[in-house]
Amino acid sequence: MVAELITEIQQGMAAYLDNAQMMQLQKVLSHTLFGVEVTKRQDQQDTPAANEELLHSFLAAKHIEGCSDKSLKYYNSVIENMLGDVDKPIVHIVTDDLRQYLDRYQKQNNASKITVDNVRRILSTFFAWLEDEDYILKSPVRRIHKVKAGKTIKETYTDEALVIMSDNCESVRDLAMIDLLSSTGMRVGELVNLNRDDIDFENRECIVFGKGEKERVVYFDARTKIHLQNYLNSRDDDNEALFVSLLKPHNRLQISGVEIRLRELGVRLHINRVHPHKFRRTLATRAIDKGMPIEQVQRVLGHENIETTMHYAQVRQNNVKNSYHRFMG
């Protein structure tokens, strides 16, 4: 209890003292309160309300920064689970509390290292914000390092698979949709939010709004242009959405609709794991293979961090083999 009291006093003074003064304050308090027993009055017990208030403030700040509703829900779920498990006021949570929580989380949920590290990253973001806002003196996640996970090579579509899918689409809409995903590498969420007016056919480009409502330009090839025009010319509805359902009343196509349609196509054609995100990964890999600078691939995909682009851009094993024989004989 004494340690918690000292921490609380330090946090209360953090805005008024520099680092050297804070260290001196800690020494004085530790010396003065050594051997003293401190108990909290029953009517002053901390309640979950204080934690909820800080969590609400954090989520409000992230919302203002442009986080999507989906991301905010995930943040809320992860942080609430941690608070319920640790069962301490946020300002008293220390590094060991979080280490033990992550260990329990992994064992109880049989979670992968990637999942555990995602939880760690969200907790790091939360406590870093608390530190920046002077609610706590120092983030307890600072000393919890990234969880190392083995690298897995994720599948991309072969050139043959892309041709087979294009040749076997049952509607002009699906053909245009596959071509646009394939040539731009856009996210499926960006695809379904496009309107007809967003497409610049003359320059073969369109503006999409990515994560955090960040705007960027993506480009498509001549084949995609033709198939998009054929699709739009075939429509008799007045919906502004670029892609709509095949049946009346022709509502805007949703993410789930795209995913289901592609999954069914893959099953019918015996192509393994057909889903929208695989087109994005395929574009990144092909662009890198053809010598496109990684910084430009980053711009095309709309990544804030170039390390994210590197995860998408895989070096094909055939290229490694060919390079070996070219340089090593």
Q: pLDDT at position 138, please?
A: 86
- Banded pLDDT at 320 (limits 50, 70, 90): low
Beta bridge partners of 241: 195
Beta bridge partners of 219: 205
Q: Between residues 41 and 87, which one has the greater pLDDT?
A: 87
Query: Which residues, 6+ apart, have CB-to-CB distance to 81 below 8 Å?
Result: 105
Q: Between residues 210 and 88, which one has the greater pLDDT?
A: 88
Under DSSP, the state recorded for 121 is H
CA-to-CA distance for 123 and 75, rounded, in angstroms? 9
- Banded pLDDT at 44 (limits 50, 70, 90): very low
CA-to-CA distance for 144 and 126, rounded, in angstroms? 14
Q: pLDDT at position 303, please?
A: 86
Q: pLDDT at position 237, please?
A: 93
Find the DSSP H helices in the chain: 2-13, 19-32, 48-64, 69-86, 95-109, 113-132, 159-167, 172-184, 188-192, 222-234, 255-269, 276-289, 294-301, 306-312, 317-328
Looking at CATH, the fold of the domain delimited by 48-132 is given as DNA polymerase; domain 1 (1.10.150)
Q: What is the mean pLDDT of residues 140-155?
A: 80
> Is the confidence at residue 52, as pLDDT, over 70?
yes
Q: Residue ranges per domain, the chain?
A: 48-132, 159-324
Q: pLDDT at position 146, please?
A: 86
Under DSSP, the state recorded for 324 is H
Tokens of 254: 């949703």
Under DSSP, the state recorded for 219 is E
Tokens of 70: 């989906």
Give whole-number Cα distances, 156 to 151, 161, 176, 272, 327, in Å. Answer: 15, 10, 20, 10, 26
Cα R_g (the chain), whole angstroms: 26
Q: pLDDT at position 41, please?
A: 57
Looking at CATH, the fold of the domain delimited by 159-324 is given as hpI Integrase; Chain A (1.10.443)
> Is the confidence at residue 13, as pLDDT, over 90?
no
pLDDT in tens, 108-126: 999 888 889 999 999 999 9
CA-to-CA distance for 252 and 254, rounded, in angstroms? 6
pLDDT in tens, 281-304: 999 888 888 888 888 888 898 888
> Is the confidence at residue 43, as pLDDT, over 50?
no
Residue 308 · residue 280 · CB < 8 Å? no
Q: pLDDT at position 240, please?
A: 95
Cβ atoms within 10 Å, residue 141: 22
Which pairs from 270-278 meet CB under 8 Å and 24+ separation? 271/157, 271/161, 271/164, 271/165, 272/155, 273/155, 274/165, 276/181, 276/187, 276/188, 276/191, 277/187, 277/188, 278/155, 278/156, 278/157
- Among the residue ranges 56-60, 229-233, 290-294, the one predicted with the least confidence is 290-294
Q: What is the pTM of this model?
A: 0.64
Give the residue from 271, 282, 263, 266 showing the smallest Cα distance to 184: 282
- 34 backbone φψ class: left, alpha, beta (φ>0; ψ -120 to 50): beta
Q: What is the mean pLDDT of residues 155-179?
A: 94
Residue 61 · residue 129 · CB < 8 Å? yes
